[in-house]
Structure 1
Amino acid sequence: MTAPDPAGEAAAALGADRALRAAARHSAGRLTALSVSSVAAAGAALAEPALLGHTLDLLLRQDPAGARWTGWCAAVIAAEVLLDAATARLTGGVDARSTARLRRLGLGRLLRTAPHHAARHSPGELSARLTTHATAAGGVPAAAVSAAVALLPPLGGLVALFLVDVWTALAFLAGLPLLAILLRTFARASGASVSRYQEVQLAMAGRLVEVLAGARTIAAAGTAEREQARVLERLPELGAEGRRTWRIYGATMARTSALMPLLLYVVLGVGGIRLAAGALGVGGLLAAVRYAGLAAGVGAVTGRLAAVVRGRSAARRTAVLFGLPELAQGDARLPEDGPGTLELRGVRVVRAGTVLLHDIDLRVPGGTTAAVVGRSGSGKTTLAAVAGRLTACDGGRVLLDGVPLEDLSAEELRREVGHAFERPALFGEDVAAAIAFGGGPPPGAPAVRAAARAAGADDFVRRLPRGYGTALRDAPVSGGELQRLGLARAFCRAGRLLVLDDAMSSLDTLTAREVERALLRDVRPGTRLVIAHRVSSAARADLVVWLDAGRVRATGTHTELWRDPAYRAVFGDAADPDREAAGRARAEPSSRPDPGAVLPSVPEPPGREAVR
């Protein structure tokens, strides 16, 4: 077990307090109404014994006023019932709103942070933080009010007990120090146990989601039993912590449950003696016993205190999401009709102490197709993420048409910088909505179909049961078809810069060539940054950026770089179709300009005609 980190625990506690305050502010109106309703219900509970005792004395004396006071007793009891019902309803509303607020805050920060920060937590762990733990944390504001108000009847009952008869009050007061010790011990012990329980719960949730995501691989490998054992490996620890928590709670409740009746019996005995001595009437004895019962209700605070303890511990788990660094954006806009010139100036990226990109200097003129090649681990995907502002760089700047990406507004950035990925995720009710997915005004059906045709997806989409209206869950697609839908979405929302991060790796060679030609002909003109693994993709690019261990080893046309055996080795003796394409690229006279020798750049290419 890892050693505790006091600084980390203090930061988590501070984050939890801030999160709970934010949730309380979000439900301030309902929380105020809950407080008023709870206090009024407590007031009615405190008034009831005095009214009952006085009414009983009047009825025993056959006083005509007894009937009127009986009505008052009925009114107070009815008010107490109604106020308790209102309190329960308001508690549910506050819990729901507070939980929703915590989930929105956590999910919003999760979606606004850089993907590599979110990737530090497994999907199962993130899901548990946003569901189970957020629910428990969302109950803290109402539970804290309930716990505070729950002290009013016991304290008020004790004060009233002194007013009714001092000796019965002193008899009851003798057992309170022991009760206070029990409650304090419970709070400390249960807090630590609940925290450990939730830690194990998070770890198991993470493993479960990991196994579900890799179900096909596990089935193919025949390791289902081993993975099941791995997911359930910490189940005994989870059970032990759960049993420990309930033992602590049960022991505290048992002791308080045993202590409270004893105190009531002592009060009843002393009250009986006072009644026999004539110092206390029958109504007074009834009031004293009822107030002693209210004072004994301090033990019920244990349950509400347990809810606060569990909620605060869960809030520390949820608050981890609030600590994720937000990917900052400004409010600047790009110049009108900019060509999409991309510049990286001294870009440096460090992750977990490892330098992934070393002081990259690169200029890709607007309208250029730049292929980024390199061996696995050379930094290609990191370069693509930095170029599209999916992650921030730790040094240097990235500019688009002379404007730093971090200065752009989020709307401007995502309107003008598009992405397509190796494993795209589709969102929307149907296929058409998945292609049109994105911010801003939704594109029309003609634009969606044109993008699908450019990505080579139109034919198989039309063969689906309802064509473009087929629900995503009813659209069985292969890996290549999924990539084509991802490309169609990127083409539909293409801005002045389009980043293709290995987005055609699952396409066959012929389809990939058709998509590359359509990208030049049928998609909005702009700059393309292509993470390339195929020789043909590099051969068709205007500029090739060769990365090696996070550094730009060389830039130039594919024909020029092909002369270097180390560059050819990057492609690992490509397959015949690609080798033929490379041969054609070497044989044909290149119309591309010289990229230059000092700063990796190429002159502005002539404009390309395109169909939107």
Structure 2
Amino acid sequence: MRLGAPRRPEPGPSTHRFLRDVVRHSAGRCTALCLIGVATAAAELVMPSVLGHAVDALLTDRQAPWAGRWTVLAAALTGTLIAAQAGEALLTGTTAARTAAWTRGRLLRHILAVGPSAQNRFSPGDLSSRVVGNAAHTGAAPAAVAGLLAAGVTPLGALLVLTLLDPWLGAAFILGIPLLVLLLRAFVRDTSDSVSRYQRIQGEMAGRLLETLRGARTVAAAGTTRRERSRILRPLPELGRHGHRTWRVLGRSTARAAAILPLLQLLVLAVGGLLLTAHRLTVGELLAASRYAALATGIGMLVSRVNDVVHSRAAADRIAEVLAEPATAHGTRRLPAGAGTLEFRGVAAVRGGRTVLRAVDVSVPAGSSLAVVGRSGTGKSVFAAIAGRLADPDEGVVLLDGVPLPELCRDELRRAVGYAFARPALFGGTVGSAIAVGPTTVPRQTVVSAARQACADDFVRLLPDGYETACRATALSGGEVQRLGLARAFAHSGRLLVLDDATSSLDTVTEHRIGAALWHGLDGRTRVVVAHRASTAARADLVAWLDGGQVRAVAPHAALWCLPEYRAVFEPPCIEDDRPTPAPLLDQGGGGPGG
């Protein structure tokens, strides 16, 4: 969100639909809260009348025996109010907690259903703030709505009873209702805008903080701690401005209410005094009228309830924005018998307004290996993401054994395609379970075998508890983490394996050892490998050479090596100076055509 941007529009239909779903999910508890609130309001409305009758009974000799009965009834109503308010507080807390948990679950499921593309619009920190903070505020919506409905019963009921006591009492109070309505309307309008901006700036700051935490080592090495702190806290003045504005609006509304409400009560009492002198009201009825006037002016409770609803609606608006992102749709088809033939047909992809792939036509025979090479920015990682449907192309289609990937059901797709990344995340708690994470259950024997293929078994056994060592308790190097990621990919059988720069942190010897498993020991799985080394490309059956977003050629490495432009892909950039430029050095073991 750009700071200082124009006022945002009111929440759209998606927000209102989502809020309806939230309230519907807690319909039973919401109904119970409404009933308790109405019962509490009824007790509050009966209480002034009971007290008035008790006073009249004490002042009238003929009704003196009734005074004790009215007093006992007043005590019973007081006990009922205490019990109802305690039950309401307990039910409000549990309803908010359960609804927040349901909201978080739904939001998390949708984020995972959208997939990696969710981060194209929302930063991880912003998503975290929505899942944690905004879900909690949204969880309070059912209780806030129920409380608002119940809070409206008391002033309306009090106004009705005032009118029944004497129409002039009701008329005196009705004179001030337009002022109360204007007060509430201004409060809702100003508070909605401030709360919405406040929550959005919170999300922006959370996103910046998470970015800095991810790059903590870079920040420390560059000595830019103060600069990062300033960058994270830069929106803080704007955040404080909207926070102070929210409190100012609340304080201004409370102050206006404090000025208006006593005047209304005084007006009702003045009219009541005149009616008392005219013998149209008793002393007890005048006492009851004063209490009903106070209940009818319960604007403070309404402001508080409206404030809760405004906060919940603003939070629901932010969650509805994420839910409006379309989830990745999956089909219902299963893969036919086959070994993993992969085809790109007319594939194009646009990222950040730039076409990174255009008119890509590539066919990878089943069981073969394809190295994807090209200079930085030519679309290699996008190619790898589209190959296993971590992303969808903007044009064209990708097929696996003749079936378009979008037509496959989710489980079938994820069992058929495995991935390994340059910076894999270790889930599962322990090292062993991190390797076993996947769509199917993997026995320990397979985990150990996969770790050996990825050259990870040796260092895993040196950990304090071996494969049962907690991931957070290990100080692993980048290369060791990559080997665990490779082991996870090797542990799950499938038709297609995609490696997106998954060996970039490995030394040449380790990469060569892993290559034996990657190129020859994966039971005929089709492999797509993003390659930066000529030795890696040389081991592949075919090379897809990307240049300017297009596939310039698909051929064996040996056939392409004769082209100077292809060899230049693997050469470091030359630095022009007065000295002669040395001949390019190739990786050992596979740099030449015969590699």
Specify the TM-score bucket, using the shorter chain as the normaliser.
Answer: over 0.9
1:27 to 2:26 alignment: yes
1:110–1:118 contact (8 Å) kept in structure 2? no
1:427 to 2:427 alignment: yes
Which residue of structure 1 lines up, in the alignment, with residue 444 of structure 2?
Answer: 445
CA deviation after TM superposition for structure 1 residue 303, in Å: 1.2
CA deviation after TM superposition for structure 1 residue 318, in Å: 1.7
Which residue of structure 2 lines up, in the alignment, with residue 90 of structure 1?
Answer: 91
Q: Deviations over 1:166-192 (max 9, x none)?
A: 333333332222222211111111222
1:99–1:135 contact (8 Å) kept in structure 2? yes
Q: Deviations over 1:193-249 (max 9, x none)?
A: 222222322222221221222121111111111221121112112111111111111
Matched AA of 1:363: S
Match of 1:582 among 573, 576, 591: 591
Matched AA of 1:250: G
Which residue of structure 2 lines up, in the alignment, with residue 504 of structure 1?
Answer: 503
1:361 to 2:370 alignment: no
Which residue of structure 1 lines up, in the alignment, with residue 285 of structure 2?
Answer: 284
Gaps spanning 5+ residues in structure 1: where? Answer: 588-612
2:379–2:546 contact (8 Å) kept in structure 1? yes
Query: Within 5 Å, which residues of 2 pair with 1:205-220?
Result: 205-220=206-221
1:480 to 2:479 alignment: yes
CA deviation after TM superposition for structure 1 residue 491, in Å: 0.8
CA distance in 2, matches of 1:265, 1:488: 80
Matched AA of 1:162: T
CA deviation after TM superposition for structure 1 residue 276, in Å: 3.4
Which residue of structure 2 lines up, in the alignment, with residue 262 of structure 1?
Answer: 263
CA deviation after TM superposition for structure 1 residue 575, in Å: 7.9
Matched AA of 1:479: G
SS at match of 1:113: helix
CA distance in 2, matches of 1:561, 1:293: 89
Query: Within 5 Å, which residues of 2 pair with 1:220-299?
Result: 220-299=221-300
CA deviation after TM superposition for structure 1 residue 546, in Å: 0.8
CA distance in 1, matches of 2:117, 2:280: 76
Which residue of structure 2 lines up, in the alignment, with residue 403 of structure 1?
Answer: 403
CA deviation after TM superposition for structure 1 residue 305, in Å: 0.7
CA distance in 1, matches of 2:588, 2:184: 77
Q: Deviations over 1:546-593 (max 9, x none)?
A: 11111110011111010111111111169857254223x527xxxxxx
1:114–1:392 contact (8 Å) kept in structure 2? no
1:26–1:97 contact (8 Å) kept in structure 2? no
CA deviation after TM superposition for structure 1 residue 63, in Å: 3.9
Query: Within 5 Å, which residues of 2 pair with 1:50-61?
Result: 50-61=49-60
Matched AA of 1:73: A
CA distance in 2, matches of 1:171, 1:9: 38
TM-score of the two chains, using structure 1 as the length reference: 0.91
SS at match of 1:419: strand
Matched AA of 1:322: L
CA distance in 2, matches of 1:227, 1:412: 44
CA distance in 1, matches of 2:355, 2:518: 33
1:195–1:313 contact (8 Å) kept in structure 2? yes
1:52–1:73 contact (8 Å) kept in structure 2? yes
1:53–1:287 contact (8 Å) kept in structure 2? yes
CA distance in 2, matches of 1:549, 1:428: 39
Matched AA of 1:156: G
CA deviation after TM superposition for structure 1 residue 435, in Å: 0.5
1:509–1:577 contact (8 Å) kept in structure 2? no
Matched AA of 2:475: P
CA distance in 1, matches of 2:4, 2:243: 22
Matched AA of 1:586: G
Query: Which one is further off, 85-94 or 370-379?
Result: 85-94
CA deviation after TM superposition for structure 1 residue 66, in Å: 3.7
CA deviation after TM superposition for structure 1 residue 9, in Å: 3.8
1:533 to 2:532 alignment: yes
CA distance in 1, matches of 2:4, 2:229: 28
Which residue of structure 1 lines up, in the alignment, with residue 144 of structure 2?
Answer: 143
Which residue of structure 2 lines up, in the alignment, with residue 461 of structure 1?
Answer: 460
Task: Kindly report the root-mean-square deviation, in angstroms, between the aligned alpha carbons of the 2 structures.
Answer: 2.0
Which residue of structure 2 lines up, in the alignment, with residue 77 of structure 1?
Answer: 78
Query: Which one is further off, 503-512 or 116-125?
Result: 116-125
CA deviation after TM superposition for structure 1 residue 2, in Å: 7.8
Q: Deviations over 1:249-299 (max 9, x none)?
A: 101101102222232233233323333332211221121111111101133
Which residue of structure 2 lines up, in the alignment, with residue 351 of structure 1?
Answer: 351
SS at match of 2:245: helix
SS at match of 1:582: coil
- Which 4+ stretches in 1 moved above 4 angstroms? 1-6, 573-577
Identity %: 51
1:48 to 2:47 alignment: yes
CA distance in 1, matches of 2:466, 2:125: 34
CA distance in 2, matches of 1:345, 1:5: 44
CA distance in 2, matches of 1:100, 1:395: 39
CA distance in 2, matches of 1:252, 1:438: 56
CA deviation after TM superposition for structure 1 residue 395, in Å: 1.4
1:535–1:579 contact (8 Å) kept in structure 2? no
Matched AA of 1:485: L
Matched AA of 1:254: A
CA deviation after TM superposition for structure 1 residue 359, in Å: 1.5
Which residue of structure 2 lines up, in the alignment, with residue 131 of structure 1?
Answer: 132
CA distance in 1, matches of 2:74, 2:524: 82
1:125–1:205 contact (8 Å) kept in structure 2? yes
TM-score of the two chains, using structure 2 as the length reference: 0.93
1:515 to 2:523 alignment: no
CA distance in 2, matches of 1:197, 1:520: 54
CA distance in 2, matches of 1:74, 1:237: 51
Which residue of structure 1 lines up, in the alignment, with residue 551 of structure 2?
Answer: 552
SS at match of 2:545: strand
CA distance in 2, matches of 1:252, 1:225: 40
Gaps spanning 5+ residues in structure 2: where? Answer: 573-582
Matched AA of 2:131: L
1:327–1:391 contact (8 Å) kept in structure 2? no
